[in-house]
Amino acid sequence: MIRAFTIEQVRAAEDAVRQQVEPGELMQRAAYGLAEVAKARLGSQPADGAGDEDDNGAERVVVLAGSGDNGGDALYAAARLASAGLNVIALLVGSRTHAGGLEQALADGVVPVEWRTGAAPDAAVGALAEASLVLDGIVGIGGKPGLPAHLRDLPDLIAPDAYVIAVDLPSGVDPSGEVGADCLFADETVTFSLLKPCHLLPAAEAACGLLTVVDIGVPEPDSPAVVRYERDDVAASWPVPGPFDDKYSRGVLGVVTGSESYPGAAVLGVTAAVTAGVGMVRYIGPARATDLVLQHVPEIVTGPGRVQAWLLGSGWDGHGGAPELVGEILDGDLPVVLDAGALDLLDDPRSGATLLTPHAGELQRLARRLELDDTTGVSGARAVADELNAHVLLKGAVTVIVPPSHSGAPIVSQTAGPAWLATAGSGDVLAGLIAAVAAGGLDLPIAAALGVLVHGGAAEAANPGGPVRALDVARSAGRVVADLLGAARRDTST
């Protein structure tokens, strides 16, 4: 599992270590690691011809040094790169400069260029246009969203083939990862010991590029703010039947989805649930949808009965033909996944565990219906989660599962698979996967995280590198689960 921590947690953890080491030691560790990564990347980049080397053949490195500690990290790294024979220019872009870092950089041959305000000087424009590698040390975890005013055009000045490494985080991103803003996109972000929320959350993750963690000796705090489940976590948590299990003990899922207008949604969700390994599905829906589901998944049972979890709403154009049953379900204590048309059912918290699965547009409509101020992104999902005492799964290129604030639980952030997964019916499949795992006994937020992970893997397995249809994703889920469980067994045996 990947863990990220709040800015306050990071500061406290670093301060605790600083009290035990020599002054400046943490910065030197960070600068050493940063310089080593930079040298490795320069060694892996092919020479593209004239314009990226000086007259002596040394590749051009441009360091963007801001006012804070990130600027100090960047300048000390610049000194190490210059002492290794590289042609290094430091653009001093902050209102002030880290004195020790600048002194060391000058001593080792780094060429300084001031650009503290206004338009870029010619020397800065020329250096950026000829750069092979750019170190972005403008602002760090103390920064506000958005680039400083005089640097708004900076991204356009950097050579298109330059490799950009962000120091700790890309300048301009919101360190909390919740607010989108103009920023400098990095090919790689080098962070130190602890991940920050911006490295995993949707508003900022795309700007981070490849994420590299340099260990500078700062231990992780106990309680992460954001987590991401990995392949090994599927094997550790996925409900696996034992020799004495039967279809009932493995989990029975009740599904009220589909409609006369959209019967296919029922097929997709039920197929995904059965393929993922639920013990049994009880399906309730209108005649057309029921016939279609039975045609594709004959092992289901139609009609209500005892279940361990419910899935409602996919493909509804009303209440799925069972409004009285839906009312009973919502009044009950069983875990419920509310998808698509069922997102409009709740005005108040229910007693049982609840997961809502909106995409961005559905979240905005839901938040407005509840008369909430925050309607978008992580903050909007949190507002809905708090209002309804539910977990909110906000679907996207990075999918987040946001808990109610009072729970103290971390946000879960999962990359949702290939972009080809943005296709009709994909959400119906995801809802079926999550509900199946919840019926198997997992808590809803864990079921949601594992469902998203398997969903992405199934999309890739359905047609690696190419377009997929939702039904193929649903049919690939079982094979992906088997591969993940098998990989874990192989790792254990070796």
Closest of 230, 263, 280 to residue 454, by C-alpha:
230
Residue ranges for the binding site for K(+)? Answer: 70, 136, 171
Measured from the Cβ of residue 398, the count of other Cβ atoms closer than 10 Å reads 20
Structure tokens at 466: 């190419």
Residue ranges for the binding site for AMP? Answer: 395-399, 427
Phi, psi angle pair for 93, to nearest 5°: -105, 0
Residue ranges for the binding site for (6S)-NADPHX? Answer: 69-73, 140-146, 168, 265, 315, 359, 428
Structure tokens at 9: 């947690």
**Cα–Cα distance for residue pair 232/396, rounded to 1 Å:** 23
Structure tokens at 445: 């937020």
Residue ranges for the binding site? Answer: 69-73, 136, 140-146, 168, 171, 265, 315, 359, 395-399, 427-428
Pairing between strand 188-192 and 210-214?
parallel
